Structure 1
Amino acid sequence: MMFNEVHEVSQLKAETRLIARKRHKPSKLDKYSVHLRKLYEEGASKAELQRWLVRRGVVVNWTTVKRWLDRNA
Structure 2
Amino acid sequence: MNFNEVNEVAQLKAETKLIARKRKKSSKLDVHRYQLCKLFHAGATKAELQRWLIKKKGMRVDWTTVKRWLDKNA
Q: How much has 1:52 moved relative to structure 2?
A: 0.7
Amino acid at match of 2:49: L
Output the CA distance in 1 between the equivalents of 2:8 and 2:39: 51
Residue 53 and residue 7 in structure 1: after superposition, are their counterparts in 2 closer, same or farther (change >3 A)?
A: same
| Structure 1 alignment gaps of length 5 or more | none
| Structure 2 alignment gaps of length 5 or more | none
Q: How much has 1:12 moved relative to structure 2?
A: 3.4
TM normalised by structure 1 equals 0.81
Pair 1:34-2:14 in alignment: no
Partner residue in 2 for 1:69: 70
Percent identity for Structure 1 against Structure 2: 65
TM-align CA RMSD: 1.7
Output the CA distance in 1 between the equivalents of 2:12 and 2:48: 45
The structure 1 segments of at least 4 consecutive aligned residues displaced by more than 4 Å after TM superposition are none
CA offsets 1:4-33 (integer angstroms, 9 cap, x no match) = 724454233222211222222211100000
Partner residue in 2 for 1:54: 54
TM normalised by structure 2 equals 0.80
CA offsets 1:15-72 (integer angstroms, 9 cap, x no match) = 2211222222211100000000001111111111111100211100111111111111
Amino acid at match of 1:19: I
